[in-house]
């Protein structure tokens, strides 16, 4: 039974592990912990934003994975899916804090794959590009006008459902098949810096 989680505080994680254990356990952990705040250049970086992004993306992911690894190991064919970002692959102006947090989350995911292979725990990383959700750009940029500009003129940016479909496929293949890293972007986004806008 796969479970998708975004709970990063210690008490919340402990309660969740207890509840999941009482319900019979899991074989797949889909970790969506993360988020972005601000688009400041390094010279103008706000420390609280950087600390929040590192805490949510890296420390939060570590806490969740660490808490569920014993259960996944015991299962015998466990899977961890970490949702990172193409921001982990390519830096861009105004993205340094998010780039750094996602690159750290990606490095942790790659190390986890090496550490857990002996326990038959499959580790998958999904790296989405431009995904249009109600929250992400608004939370990051702080106002609706700036958030709307991110997606302006882009035909069919990815949706949360698109990313969920990719994750569902990755966990549905036989356990011996590991889709280590899956980069998924909308067609209009050929690269982080190359986005076709029709308007």
Q: For 145-176, what is each residue's pLDDT tens digit?
A: 776 777 777 888 889 999 999 999 999 999 99
Residue 16 vs residues 23, 108, 148, 153, 158: alpha-carbon distances, Å:
10, 22, 35, 41, 30
Listed residue (98, 107, 104, 106) closest to 50, CA to CA: 98
Active site residue 98: yes
Instruction: Please tell me which residue in 54, 92, 98, 169 is annotated as part of the active site.
Output: 98
> In this structure, how many other beta carbons lie within 10 angstroms of the beta carbon of residue 21?
13
pLDDT of residue 199: 67
- Residues of the chain short of pLDDT 70, as ranges, are 1-8, 136-139, 141-142, 147, 199
**Domain covering 2-129+162-184: architecture:** 3-Layer(aba) Sandwich (3.40)
pLDDT of residue 53: 93
**For residue 131, what are the β-bridge partners?**
158
**133: exposed, middle or buried (C-beta count within 10 Å: 0-12, 13-18, 19+)?**
middle
pLDDT of residue 15: 86
**Residue 175: DSSP 8-state:** T
Tokens describing residue 97 = 């804090």
């Amino acid at each position: 039974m796969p479970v998708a989680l975004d709970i990063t505080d210690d008490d919340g994680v402990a309660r969740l592990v207890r509840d999941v254990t009482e319900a019979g356990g899991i074989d797949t952990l889909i970790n969506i912990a993360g988020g972005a705040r601000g688009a400041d250049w390094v010279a103008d970086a706000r420390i609280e934003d950087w600390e929040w992004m590192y805490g949510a993306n890296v420390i939060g992911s570590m806490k969740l994975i660490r808490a569920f690894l014993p259960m996944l190991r015991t299962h015998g064919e466990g899977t961890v899916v970490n949702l990172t970002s193409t921001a982990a692959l390519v830096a861009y102006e105004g993205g340094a804090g998010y780039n750094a947090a996602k690159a750290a989350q990606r490095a942790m995911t790659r190390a986890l794959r090496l550490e857990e292979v002996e326990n038959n725990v499959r580790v998958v990383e999904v790296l989405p590009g431009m995904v249009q959700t109600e929250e992400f750009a608004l939370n990051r940029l702080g106002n609706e006008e700036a958030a709307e500009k991110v997606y302006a003129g882009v035909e069919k940016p990815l949706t949360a459902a698109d990313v969920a479909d990719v994750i569902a496929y990755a966990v549905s293949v036989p356990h011996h098949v590991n889709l280590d890293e899956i980069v998924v972007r909308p067609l209009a986004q050929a690269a982080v810096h190359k986005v076709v806008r029709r308007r």
